[in-house]
Structure 1
Amino acid sequence: MTQVSPKQVARWVVGTKHVFVRSLLSFLADPQLISVFTASMVGLATISYRSRVKSMNWKAAHLDALKKDVPKIEVKKKGVAAVDAVFFKRLFYILRICVGTDPKTWLLIITQLGMLVGRSLLSLRIARKGGDGLKAVISKSFVQFGVVITDFFIMGIVASVINSSLKYLANLMTLEFRKKLTTHTHEKYLRDRSFYKAAILREGNLDHADQRITDDISKFCETASDLYSRTFKPLLDVILCTQRMAENIGYPGLVCLYSYFFLSGFVVRWISPPFSRMIAKIQELEGSFRRAHSRLITHAEEVAFLNGSECEKAILNERLGHVTDFSEYYFMWHFKQGIMDQYILKYLASIIGWPILAVPFLLKEGVDISEIAARYRESDSLIQGASGAISDLLMVYKKLAQLSGFTARVMELLEAVEPQERDLSLMSSKFLESDVEDMISFRDITITSPDGRLLVKDLSFDIVPGKNILVTGANGAGKTSLFRVLAQLWIPTAGTVTVPRGARDLAQPLLFYVPQRPYLASGSLRDQVTYPSRFGVPGPERDAVDAKVLECLDRVKLLKLYDSTKGGLDFSHFDWNDVLSGGEKQRVGLARLFFHQPKYAVLDEATSAINPDEEGGLYEWCQKLNITVFSIAHRYELKRFHQVHLHYLADGTGKVEITNL
């Protein structure tokens, strides 16, 4: 590199001063530039005013939520999304699930890595050929120019394939991550009834589990996959471009430029608002808005009967307002941060980068002008690429902040559905197994509701097969609490439950539950009766199942639903809840009970919509199938089908009266 004398530097500085003055005067004399500048300032003032008004309105309407969910940056709370050690620990845990040891996933990662290296090397070659093309033009060499054009033609084909491959591989990686993470979540969510504990018992304080599984996991995988390429390629570009630029302009100027980038990156990061927490808050509000729509669909008939359209519209618009208001608040912060990012990392960096690039070539002497032009063009492309790569690396914190918000919500989901050692130890101590067949015993059982209300206290009794039990009591007395404990949905506060050995096997449950409004599965008529079992593959086994299904439908007088001309048992509706009446739904629940033939069954107002003169026949079928029934009911007419009466006093003492009928 040519040595620079003090006189040369002085001449350059004086010349630069005059150029700056002339440029400023030229700017002030240009009416178009003045108009653009004025319009920009007016627009900025308008946006700033709207930002201030919106921020004040949102804070006034949601001040408590803002203090709780979007705390100040310096406040660190457990579980708050932030780019810190907790975030990286959570991220690595989730990525181990996403990547695992699957060769297909590793092949995608390695293939994309190779493509990223190839793209960076191709960028260097394109920059080099750009300089060679300029040199050929200045030298007026048609042959050299033709060589450069041919080279560009070939590189264009290669670049198109690589760029499309990178996008395709990123999409495949996103799908692989989502498939593995969602499958893992389903495994945990649907094991040991974790979905019930999370949704009903509120263990783990988990909100909107459906939105987290369907939306948050998808966005986490998309962001994580995108971050992989956005981090590795810029880093490789910086290394390769720096090595090549040093041959043209030397290392001192590059050190100054990179020092500026790292200093500006620290400043930008320091003034950045808590985007990760804002993203987590937006996802929470989106989940609340989605849940409001889901509730309207679920209870559409009740709302229509009550003419509640206006009320529901107000609720939906209120939830929508929460989403849009906070989103606009978030986008405004993005707008403000974008101004700083654009100016500091792009335009001010260009002002600093141009002298660093130009001075070495301005001071070179004794070199062919075409060679100077070629190397300047090459260095200009390289420094733009390196500066853009460094800017991308410095802007990775935004992606990390976004990823942090999704990581926090996904990790909260995983933690909520993960079986707790405390729960497992309590289950083993409260639920005992006995070799006595069909014997169920409650000893000194005390049960409290999830909100802490005392329902049952010091209850001891045995359930004998063949003796049906009628359970009565006031609304809210906790009549189903005893059977929730027996089904191991709840853990008793005190006492023990002894069940036959093997009763914990969820595939062959000891207890079958038939509610007042039975759950109707998505699927065929056969699936409604066989649920939770499925028999989809045709064959001898399914033929025997179909015969049993038809028999059960006949017992509950629902053969009218079977129509061989419309697919028979394979016929399905979009939603069976929309086509069956309340009584028909209860008959489906009883047909399901007869199909599975459990040893014990809880009928929770399961015949309230069925004609009273038909109840006797249904209870007789239970007796023929050796099903011992626990009937939760308000009608004392059902006493004639039972041998034991349990009555909850509901006086706050947890006392239960037991009477033989």
Structure 2
Amino acid sequence: MAILSKCRPSRERIAGLTRAYSAHRPLIQRGLMTGFVLHVLLAAYRGVAARPSPRRRGGAKLSDGKATRVAVDAAFYQRLRVILRIVIPGIRTKEALLLCMHSTLLVFRTAISLYINAYTIGLLRQLVRGQSFQFLLNIIRWLLVAVPATWTNSWLSYVQNKLTIAYRTRLTNEVLKQYFGEEAEGPEGKCYYKLSSLDDRIKVPDQMITYDIQRFSAHLAAIYANLAKPTLDVILYNYQLAQNVGAEGLVILTVLIQTSSALLRVLSPSFGTYTAQSAALAGNLRHGHSRLVEFAEEIAFFGGQETERELLEREYITLARHEEEVMNKRWWYACAEEGIIKWLWGSFGLVICAIPVFFKFPGAAHVDLGSLYSGFVTNRRLLLSSSDAVGRVMYSYKDLAELAGYTSRVFLILDALSDVRAGKFEKALTNGATTGENGAILRGRGQVFLSEDIQFENVPIVTPNGDVLLQSLTFSVKPGENLLIVGPNGSGKSSLFRILGGLWPVYGGVVRKPPASDFLLIPQRPYLSLGTFRDQVIYPHSEEQMRERGVSDTDLLAVLAVVQMDGMVEREGWDVTREWRETLSGGDQQKLAWARLFYHRPKYAILDEATSLVPPDVEGRMMEHATALGITLLTVSHRSSLWKYHSHILQYDGQGGYIFTKLDVEKHLALQEEKLDLEAKLMEVPKMKVRLAELRLLVDAQGGNMP
């Protein structure tokens, strides 16, 4: 009795609390739902917010060769902000309009889904109660609802694809704009050359500009729907579910889901790192194949196919092992993900859906079996939709991590292009290049001024890998003073031309020169573009630009006659298209490059062994015609027949020294003949020594003595 008397006040207190809870339940329900909405928004924000990147040994090696771990962290969002300013430059742009349309369609699709879920309740009740006419009538209405639902889903896919193309177009245009640079002087021009020759960060820019930008754009267009739509669905579906089963069950379900999702996130691998590393390894494999195509002739002559095959197999095996490792991690993560999201959360949901069946809420009216059945099915559908939305929010983190991987790739090329345009390069240097006197030269920067003449004042000649070929070069050439440049290989002859063309930086001294557009290069193996025969002569002009200059096909034919290539037009015609590198011989290619020179008529022509495959009579004719056109020639050649066409000579000794002087052709020819004569005599010295030794042996054998 004493125990019962003690329990009675407790039961009364519980009953009092129950009555108070029942009286204020609507207010409590609103409070719980408000808290749930805030919790979902906060959880979504935390899901995509920056996280500190844990330091691990051996990160992913990207294309720059540095160990870097890609994650959804502050660095990712900083890079993404930079790229978003490019792909969505303003609120009045096409991209912003498409994004607004995409958002509207996402909300509209969710509204249709909620309407269908609510509409299903009536269908189920009519089915359970056997109301056939009303059931068939609602089936017709169901089919009518399918029209805007289908239209919305199709439009969502269409607009998302349009967003992908719009993002890719903006980003590709920006990268190509920086990649090809400006026509002005300075470091901003010709980045496509400098990125591959003066910088080591980007091995395969073609892959980044094509594949990586495309994948980034697709992920960026999809990530908005993968985050915004599920978050909205979670709020709306769970709000409707709370109306049916009570917000109390929703709170319990949220706690259980949050606990299990935290475990799932701990188990999540670094998908962003794997994505970036896969792209880098694929780029290395592609780079190996491109090298094989580029140097196929040399490899074939050396018989190096086995070595090249082993190198390519090594690159492929590295890529395949990485993909297999990622696949294995994705497999066990997918098992854990499906087990938690589909099955564990499903069991939680079934319990929540069963609450109205087994428990009666305070103040709730009695319902029949049909209503209970339809209510359970409706709640089950709402729960499935909500679970799917929560699962998509969880899956979206994986998508966000992959987006971080592609973001790092795209940002890498943007960052490298920005540095190259500013004259900042990251290049592997030779041993000792950064120490001592050479290091002081590499840390310096020279000055470049525009001028009609060419003047070098104490300018060092430095290769991209840090080799100092000349510590100080001083010379000057005025228009009309043709310069002959001679010296051994690797002494700095071609390096001088790259400085004149604005391709290499100036590490010291003062350079005065005309703009790069006043120079035209004819190398030993000229570049022939894709296009017609006319295009080869006027490159890089188009036929329309040629006409605007007042040049006709007759004028071009006269230019070709100078280099004895006019017969090519008679045989082939102007508009024939071929792979001209394979069609023309080496000598014809050089003559065609000279025709291109006569068409453009620049102030200066850089001739790098440009007549090595041309007969002497044609060579002289071309040199004389260039001089008659007022083109100043800067010539690298070992042919003595070209000396008479030059007034100055710059001679390198290959040991870091040089001589710049006026060219006295007769004197140099006499010196050349004397040099050749002495060299011939010196070649006879070993033979003379051998004969002298033989004679000494013969004399000694006869008892005589040679003096």
TM over 0.5: yes
Query: Which is bigger in relative contact order (C-alpha 8 A, separation at least 6)?
Result: 1
Give the equivalent residue in structure 2 for 1:659.
661
Counterparts of 1:233 and 1:422 in 2: how far apart (Å)? 42
Q: Report if the CA contact (8 A) 2:444-2:507 is conserved.
A: no
Give the equivalent residue in structure 1 for 2:565.
558
- Candidates 506, 518, 528, aligned match of 1:520: 528
Q: Report if the CA contact (8 A) 1:427-1:491 is conserved.
A: no
Q: Report if the CA contact (8 A) 2:123-2:135 is conserved.
A: yes
SS of residue in 1 equivalent to 2:354 = helix
- Candidates 440, 448, 451, aligned match of 1:431: 448
Runs of 5+ in structure 2 lacking a partner? 1-13, 16-56, 182-188, 425-442, 664-707
Amino acid at match of 2:595: A
Q: Report if the CA contact (8 A) 1:276-1:402 is conserved.
A: yes
* 1:598 counterpart = 2:595: no
* 1:162 counterpart = 2:167: no
Q: Report if the CA contact (8 A) 1:80-1:408 is conserved.
A: no
SS of residue in 1 equivalent to 2:530 = coil
The superposition leaves residues 132-153 of structure 1 with CA deviations (integer Å, 9 ceiling, x where unpaired) of 2221111000122113211221
Counterparts of 1:303 and 1:186 in 2: how far apart (Å)? 33
Counterparts of 1:167 and 1:396 in 2: how far apart (Å)? 17
In the TM superposition, what is the alpha-carbon distance from 1:266 to its structure 2 partner?
2.5
In the TM superposition, what is the alpha-carbon distance from 1:618 to its structure 2 partner?
1.2
In the TM superposition, what is the alpha-carbon distance from 1:67 to its structure 2 partner?
3.0
In the TM superposition, what is the alpha-carbon distance from 1:308 to its structure 2 partner?
4.4
Q: Report if the CA contact (8 A) 2:445-2:508 is conserved.
A: no
Q: Report if the CA contact (8 A) 1:131-1:376 is conserved.
A: no
Answer with 102-111 or 242-251: which moved more: 102-111
Residues 298 and 550 of structure 1, relative CA distance in 2, 3 Å threshold = farther
In the TM superposition, what is the alpha-carbon distance from 1:130 to its structure 2 partner?
2.5
Runs of 5+ in structure 1 lacking a partner? 7-65, 72-76
Amino acid at match of 1:133: L
Give the equivalent residue in structure 2 for 1:59.
none
Residues 547 and 263 of structure 1, relative CA distance in 2, 3 Å threshold = farther
- Candidates 187, 190, 210, aligned match of 1:214: 210
Counterparts of 1:325 and 1:554 in 2: how far apart (Å)? 60
Pairing of 1:99-118 with structure 2 (within 5 A): 99-101=88-90, 103-118=93-108
- Candidates 254, 271, 278, aligned match of 1:282: 278
Amino acid at match of 1:524: T
The superposition leaves residues 401-459 of structure 1 with CA deviations (integer Å, 9 ceiling, x where unpaired) of 111111001001011112568539x999610234xxx3221111112111111112222
Counterparts of 2:301 and 2:570 in 1: how far apart (Å)? 31
* 1:390 counterpart = 2:399: no
Pairing of 1:125-204 with structure 2 (within 5 A): 125-191=115-181, 192-202=189-199
TM-score (norm 1): 0.82
Pairing of 1:493-532 with structure 2 (within 5 A): 493-499=507-513, 503-504=514-515, 509-532=517-540
Q: Report if the CA contact (8 A) 2:208-2:413 is conserved.
A: yes
Answer with 107-116 or 544-553: which moved more: 544-553
SS of residue in 1 equivalent to 2:577 = coil
The superposition leaves residues 95-117 of structure 1 with CA deviations (integer Å, 9 ceiling, x where unpaired) of 12112135322221111111111
TM-score (norm 2): 0.77
Counterparts of 1:89 and 1:97 in 2: how far apart (Å)? 13
Give the equivalent residue in structure 1 for 2:642.
638
Residues 521 and 540 of structure 1, relative CA distance in 2, 3 Å threshold = closer
In the TM superposition, what is the alpha-carbon distance from 1:306 to its structure 2 partner?
4.8
- Candidates 70, 87, 92, aligned match of 1:81: 70
Size of the aligned set, in residue pairs, is: 577
In the TM superposition, what is the alpha-carbon distance from 1:187 to its structure 2 partner?
0.5
In the TM superposition, what is the alpha-carbon distance from 1:207 to its structure 2 partner?
2.2
Residues 545 and 93 of structure 1, relative CA distance in 2, 3 Å threshold = farther
Give the equivalent residue in structure 1 for 2:630.
626
SS of residue in 1 equivalent to 2:234 = helix
Residues 84 and 496 of structure 1, relative CA distance in 2, 3 Å threshold = same
- Candidates 458, 461, 467, aligned match of 1:453: 467
Q: Report if the CA contact (8 A) 2:605-2:632 is conserved.
A: yes
SS of residue in 2 equivalent to 1:494 = coil
Residues 264 and 478 of structure 1, relative CA distance in 2, 3 Å threshold = farther
Counterparts of 2:222 and 2:131 in 1: how far apart (Å)? 43
Q: Report if the CA contact (8 A) 1:70-1:278 is conserved.
A: no
Counterparts of 2:569 and 2:121 in 1: how far apart (Å)? 78
Q: Report if the CA contact (8 A) 1:130-1:377 is conserved.
A: no
In the TM superposition, what is the alpha-carbon distance from 1:523 to its structure 2 partner?
2.1
Q: Report if the CA contact (8 A) 1:79-1:408 is conserved.
A: no
Give the equivalent residue in structure 2 for 1:51.
none
In the TM superposition, what is the alpha-carbon distance from 1:302 to its structure 2 partner?
4.3
Give the equivalent residue in structure 2 for 1:46.
none
Counterparts of 2:321 and 2:193 in 1: how far apart (Å)? 33
Pairing of 1:292-311 with structure 2 (within 5 A): 292-311=288-307
Give the equivalent residue in structure 2 for 1:33.
none
Q: Bigger radius of gyration, 1 or 2?
A: 2
Answer with 458-467 or 540-549: which moved more: 540-549
Counterparts of 2:72 and 2:623 in 1: how far apart (Å)? 61
Question: Identity over the aligned pairs, expressed in percent?
Answer: 34
- Candidates 269, 272, 275, aligned match of 1:273: 269
Give the equivalent residue in structure 2 for 1:586.
590
Runs of 4+ off more than 6 Å: none
Amino acid at match of 1:472: V
* 1:67 counterpart = 2:81: no
Amino acid at match of 2:532: S
In the TM superposition, what is the alpha-carbon distance from 1:301 to its structure 2 partner?
4.3
Answer with 181-190 or 319-328: which moved more: 319-328
Pairing of 1:32-47 with structure 2 (within 5 A): none
Answer with 635-644 or 153-162: which moved more: 635-644
Residues 461 and 521 of structure 1, relative CA distance in 2, 3 Å threshold = same
Give the equivalent residue in structure 2 for 1:20.
none
The superposition leaves residues 29-78 of structure 1 with CA deviations (integer Å, 9 ceiling, x where unpaired) of xxxxxxxxxxxxxxxxxxxxxxxxxxxxxxxxxxxxx935369xxxxx88
Counterparts of 2:580 and 2:323 in 1: how far apart (Å)? 38
Residues 91 and 105 of structure 1, relative CA distance in 2, 3 Å threshold = same
Counterparts of 1:630 and 1:281 in 2: how far apart (Å)? 46
Q: Report if the CA contact (8 A) 1:131-1:373 is conserved.
A: no
- Candidates 476, 479, 497, aligned match of 1:483: 497
Q: Report if the CA contact (8 A) 2:453-2:476 is conserved.
A: yes
Counterparts of 2:413 and 2:518 in 1: how far apart (Å)? 30
Amino acid at match of 1:168: Y
SS of residue in 1 equivalent to 2:160 = helix
Q: Report if the CA contact (8 A) 2:191-2:420 is conserved.
A: no
Amino acid at match of 1:468: N
Pairing of 1:189-268 with structure 2 (within 5 A): 189-191=179-181, 192-202=189-199, 205-268=201-264
Counterparts of 1:417 and 1:360 in 2: how far apart (Å)? 63
Residues 176 and 315 of structure 1, relative CA distance in 2, 3 Å threshold = same
SS of residue in 2 equivalent to 1:498 = strand
SS of residue in 2 equivalent to 1:480 = helix
Counterparts of 2:547 and 2:653 in 1: how far apart (Å)? 52
In the TM superposition, what is the alpha-carbon distance from 1:551 to its structure 2 partner?
2.5
The superposition leaves residues 166-211 of structure 1 with CA deviations (integer Å, 9 ceiling, x where unpaired) of 11111111001101100011111111111111111016x2221111
Q: Report if the CA contact (8 A) 1:430-1:491 is conserved.
A: no
